[in-house]
Structure 1
């Protein structure tokens, strides 16, 4: 069971992403990944999530040429928002959460 500090920092990775999309979570992960496997897991999960959903956003933007992208970009945005909140809650509860539709690039 992760400590309260580990849970708070892991949840912080997700929460701070609303204010600093990339830099905040990266800093937390880089500073604490060697101290806690729990924080390391959530840091990698968030960064994989960010990479995957950035790719989905780019593809949706390209698909705007054939109009379906206008719907897909909203779907991607809503899913990113919802999965970030779920990730923060699960991390704070001390659970590992695998975000759906994510390419696991960082292992």
Structure 2
């Protein structure tokens, strides 16, 4: 499998989503922020829990919600992997690497926050949002 297959966006589901579907899709994106805040005492690694739960609950009955929850899940897994790699680099360099990884973590965190808010707004408008730089592990 090459990199194009991993990062290629699947087509959005057809049809116009109902108001309830749009709200659930918005919740799928925003639940990542809530999961991160709720698990902040444990390092904030709960970003993917909310989208995972919504995807598992709604993927069969609401295609738009399933698509957006899967997109949010993949994005938050990608962001978590980036943070884990940066954390490992910081530890391996005995903290000296924090001079480089610290600002990168801040930039990635702010970008993830902004992209999540944009995705939630688009999902509430009924638009199937695709995150940039998203590795799609869950198909």
TM-score when normalising by structure 1: 0.90
Q: CA deviation at 1:70?
A: 1.2
Q: For residue 51 of structure 1, what is the aligned residue in structure 2?
A: 77
Call closer, same or farther: CA 1:57–1:30 in 2, change over 3 Å.
Answer: same
1:17 is the counterpart of 2:43? no
* Residue of 96, 120, 125 corresponding to 1:88: 120
Deviation at 1:50, TM superposition (A): 1.1
Offset at residue 96 of structure 1 (A): 0.9
CA-based RMSD: 1.4
Q: CA deviation at 1:105?
A: 1.1
1:75 maps to which residue? Answer: 107
Structure with the larger helix share: 1
Shift in Å at residue 71 of structure 1? 1.1
Q: Which has the larger radius of gyration?
A: 2
- Structure 1: which 5+ residue stretches go unaligned? none
Name stretches of at least 5 consecutive residues in structure 2 with no aligned partner: 1-15, 36-46
Aligned 1:54-65 pairs, distance under 5 A: 54-64=80-90, 65=93
